[in-house]
Chains A and B, each alone.
Chain A
């Protein structure tokens, strides 16, 4: 079983829409969780960390459900510039980072 699994999409949504991505992880001892954004042919960049209590940064909200072992990312009022691949990242015990396959988002005018 993969460490991290994501629906690859693609998600094609109109501007202004709300879109949500989920990501499941297999190691219940995982300690840290992140969402990264990757633009085509670029390196991933940290979007936000995911805390147990959930956290919000502007139009982006991240949630963690330890019982069901998944994390989610909600994007409200989608912008054209949100088009990218969103990667969830899970850190099991230790210093290793495991990436999901990424979910492709295209925001349509």
Chain B
């Protein structure tokens, strides 16, 4: 299957700082990528749909000014958590794929905000 990478895999930051997470499709082009968040013992929650060359589409309840998404190329989408707070600590996962068909997930980024 296709490969999606994420960087960093684990990050600790202080409250108030911003953190950027990269999601790359290594062997395919992804016009659309998805960003999810998963809290412990909960399912993945779709945060936003990242569209190459245009604005991201955010799910209800997700602050677009706090979670900045940039999809500058067909192989890279970035999620920036701005002014992070402890409640933003979570497992962030991106995915990419071919339209409505199977999605390939990145290995995830574990964010801890102290």
Interfacial residues, chain A to chain B (CB-CB below 8 A): 31-32, 34, 41-46, 49, 87, 89, 91, 94-102
The residue in B43, B46, B49, B108 that gathers the most chain A C-beta atoms within 10 A of its C-beta is B43
Q: Is the interface of A mostly helix, strand, loop or mixed?
A: loop
Residues of chain B contacted by A34 (CB below 8 angstroms):
102
Are A42 and B108 neighbours in the complex by a CB distance under 8 Å?
Answer: yes
Given A43-B106, A45-B105, A98 and B46 touching (CB < 8 A)? yes
Are A87 and B46 neighbours in the complex by a CB distance under 8 Å?
Answer: no
Are A46 and B108 neighbours in the complex by a CB distance under 8 Å?
Answer: no
What is the CA–CA distance of A46 and B97 in the complex, to the nearest angstrom? 12
Closest 5 CB pairs of A and B: A43-B105, A101-B43, A99-B44, A102-B43, A91-B100
What is the CA–CA distance of A59 and B10 in the complex, to the nearest angstrom? 35
Given A31-B100, A95-B99, A44 and B44 touching (CB < 8 A)? yes
